[in-house]
Structure 1
């Protein structure tokens, strides 16, 4: 078939393939994201991840190998003139990952010399990648999507390969000549038209936070840069829109997954269940198709000061418990972050030791914020690359389904009592999101406890620990709640909420509606746990 792997990818001559094969290429490589979070269906369009000329198709390297077989490569290794000396040592599991990747890169003809490393936050994926760069001994392009990640890579390269000459591709900056490692901004490669010959000098491409590469705009970079070796890094390769398959076709399959041992951190999750009688706040917004308007609902939470004050009260409680802890508050919208920041400063909370950690800030300002008692950040900044080893407590001030990477920010160094504060709202869409978070907490064996805003205080006696399913009793009744736990205790609610009801029922671990209906009522009840 006279195919080969070149600087445009896996190259196939049109005259050597059948009409059925052409149909398969165009069908397989025209992708469309799944709809999620109420995204309007008309806003979702398909896009191609292949290119063609009058005589050839250019398809992703690993797709071509899988469907059309192994072929010769015309890509150069572009070895470095001088060896890069790696200064430092790896842990045993890190050495295992490096050895596995190097073996595949050199000998894995079937998968094309590369793949993806799925490594939990805090387990050293950056230092693993730098060790791989030093061992492959080829000129390397590292692609990142945020400037603070670019600066972070420069710091780590200087630390572990001090002899490396480091260049940059960003906007009009094209500093590649005579460099061992070049760090490029993903947005620049995706959207700017650089001379394609620039990318022929690289033997290895490393993409940090590779899960972003499934998006239409960013996937353009994968067509522009084709190297003999490929390496994708992320704590999670999943994408809600189903487009993880895109970067896997270009970069290779997952070749190693390294998860944090459950026993490494005894994380406690404290869930603040927020309720209000405000009917307008409690309403769910729908579009004309009857779908929940997720962004509008998030904005409602962020602008509701009564809710924000409840969270601030608990932050003050946390600081009374342990003034030495470092707290990160996460939210979607900057308006809520500003409310927190202004309130903390004006009320002299934490001696006004508070700093922003949001997009667009200078590296020097981010460094200053890293030393504050309270760090106020967006989810997007905290989900990837953030490396503040002193963080001990995380406050999830607005709801999010996937908090794996965010929680990882308090696990980078083993602390005595890492703590997650999870605010649960009463709207159905947000309760469903909490169910997803709760599954993650349970899978990691985190301790989970609950308290309701209706109780009026954060006294320890008001907290309920995680409930376990009562598998023996089959009776259910909606008048009282009877739970079975690993330990026995008596729950004492304030007098105004207590009333003894006569008929016992069971509450099951996943029966969120039953729990919420209790916590949202003014009726008194007695709970036996």
Structure 2
């Protein structure tokens, strides 16, 4: 008789039978496998008609979650695509990732999955803001206390919400206590540390939720092993004008001054000449990381890297961008606006010149919450931020987004567009990109544009304008990185 038990994120398989994904462990005198493979191993033993004793799961005592959801009075009807997504997940044995745009109701899909599985559930989220949002909605939906793991608290209950950081810390002890794992913003999961949350868990049901499945480092290929592959997908363009607000994208051209152009060309020449001299080709983040590593031991590489950064700073912070931003703000006096930048330097300049509250990673949590609450209530009509609001907030009042500077990240681009797509009667969402023409920023903008233009149905319900140009007073530079 084979005996299977759980120990610190792994399975101990006692008995003289080799099973898939298991290796011999001399210390325990048994085969051992990551808890991740629990379901596969059980299925293998059943299919092979090998008798076994299963002592793996020690699920938290759990009330009838399906009945609690029905009795709460908060049950909401699923939209057609939400119902389709859950059916696809169910047909894949309750494993897999659902790709749905920001604002399309991923949380409701997760709640219905919890009620449907009717087993202890752990919801894992990337930020404390998302933790509080999920906790609040789960409490309303099930009329019961919800556990919290993160932000200095540790209260484990049949339905618990945790940050990725806290779930990682406690993965070995929680791995057999929950039957369902829900990974919100599941694109975070393949990171080297976080993946152990899935690997050390024996949970037989797993659901990933995201608006952006692909990662720049291509580690999304790990999701198939950790939580199941993509089983359903809807794009922004398919829901805009129906379940999401209709939108358009406006690209506004800014120009360097003559003096800025001379400086830009000088810095850029140092950078590009080094690449040509060494034969280096920068195709993406991995190639760029090689240059960063090389700069630690090669003075010429360091000089090229610093020159590249100086050129980017000029493109990101030109006075022309501030003038274009002023025009956009004046044209949208009655709208709610998020301004996104890549670096804090531009955040603080915009905040100072336009008296707009700023949120950066250094903003204290209490101040950040206060700013967002005043934005929701209309006391502030605009907020400027660097990256920290790309995900993990629920501010449906915003309908205008302005990217004052950004990277080529498709993930960040989709998240920023999603911030303004909550449907509001009679309102069209507009995403502005202020791009310094004839600089590397133009190429960066083209790459992130692919996040929308290459998606199924793009252009059907979302509209995009060509760049509105302002003649550059100086000469041109190559627009690639």
Change in CA separation of 1:451 and 1:258 when aligned onto 2, cut-off 3 Å: closer
Please state if 1:94 is matched with 2:68: no
Question: TM-score w.r.t. structure 2 length?
Answer: 0.73
Residue of structure 1 equivalent to 2:154:
174
Aligned equivalents of 1:127, 1:119: Cα separation in 2? 12
Residue of structure 2 equivalent to 1:463:
none
Aligned equivalents of 1:5, 1:204: Cα separation in 2? 19
Aligned equivalents of 2:106, 2:361: Cα separation in 1? 23
Whether contact under 8 Å (1:389, 1:410) holds in the other structure is yes
- After superposition, where does 1:137-156 map in structure 2 within 5 Å? 137-156=118-137
Change in CA separation of 1:82 and 1:395 when aligned onto 2, cut-off 3 Å: same
Residue of structure 2 equivalent to 1:121:
102
Residue of structure 1 equivalent to 2:427:
416
**1:101-139 deviations in Å (ceiling 9; x for gaps):** 3454xxx3xxxx422111111111011101211222222
Shift of 1:209: 0.7
**1:218-242 deviations in Å (ceiling 9; x for gaps):** 1122233331211111112111212
Residue of structure 1 equivalent to 2:359:
356
Residue of structure 2 equivalent to 1:56:
31
Whether contact under 8 Å (2:38, 2:202) holds in the other structure is no
Whether contact under 8 Å (2:11, 2:35) holds in the other structure is yes
Residue of structure 1 equivalent to 2:398:
391
SS in structure 2 of the partner of residue 450 of structure 1: coil
- After superposition, where does 1:482-501 map in structure 2 within 5 Å? none
Q: 2:144 aligns with which of 158, 164, 167?
A: 164
Change in CA separation of 1:274 and 1:70 when aligned onto 2, cut-off 3 Å: farther
Residue of structure 2 equivalent to 1:309:
319
Aligned equivalents of 1:202, 1:297: Cα separation in 2? 51
Matched pairs, number: 415
- After superposition, where does 1:507-518 map in structure 2 within 5 Å? none
Aligned equivalents of 1:17, 1:65: Cα separation in 2? 13
SS in structure 1 of the partner of residue 194 of structure 2: helix
Q: 2:264 aligns with which of 281, 285, 289?
A: 281
Whether contact under 8 Å (1:392, 1:410) holds in the other structure is yes
Q: Which runs of 5+ in 1 are unaligned?
A: 27-51, 346-352, 457-496, 498-512, 520-529
Aligned equivalents of 1:344, 1:298: Cα separation in 2? 29
Q: 2:385 aligns with which of 366, 370, 377?
A: 377
Change in CA separation of 1:418 and 1:356 when aligned onto 2, cut-off 3 Å: same
Whether contact under 8 Å (2:255, 2:472) holds in the other structure is no
Aligned equivalents of 2:440, 2:5: Cα separation in 1? 47
SS in structure 1 of the partner of residue 447 of structure 2: helix
Residue of structure 1 equivalent to 2:416:
406
Aligned equivalents of 1:183, 1:214: Cα separation in 2? 19
Question: TM-score w.r.t. structure 1 length?
Answer: 0.67
Please state if 1:334 is matched with 2:344: yes
Change in CA separation of 1:63 and 1:168 when aligned onto 2, cut-off 3 Å: closer
Residue of structure 1 equivalent to 2:300:
none
Whether contact under 8 Å (1:140, 1:205) holds in the other structure is yes
Residue of structure 2 equivalent to 1:206:
182
SS in structure 2 of the partner of residue 391 of structure 1: coil
Aligned equivalents of 2:15, 2:432: Cα separation in 1? 58
**1:381-400 deviations in Å (ceiling 9; x for gaps):** 33322221121221112232
Shift of 1:354: 3.2
Relative contact order: is structure 1 or structure 2 higher (C-alpha 8 Å, sep ≥ 6)?
A: 2
Whether contact under 8 Å (1:355, 1:374) holds in the other structure is no
Cα RMSD of the aligned pairs, angstroms, is: 4.0
Change in CA separation of 1:438 and 1:85 when aligned onto 2, cut-off 3 Å: closer
Please state if 1:451 is matched with 2:431: no
- After superposition, where does 1:473-488 map in structure 2 within 5 Å? none
SS in structure 2 of the partner of residue 320 of structure 1: helix
Whether contact under 8 Å (2:179, 2:205) holds in the other structure is yes
Aligned equivalents of 2:112, 2:127: Cα separation in 1? 22
Shift of 1:3: 9.2
Change in CA separation of 1:338 and 1:201 when aligned onto 2, cut-off 3 Å: same
**1:356-398 deviations in Å (ceiling 9; x for gaps):** 264653253253353321111222x333222211212211122
Whether contact under 8 Å (1:344, 1:354) holds in the other structure is no
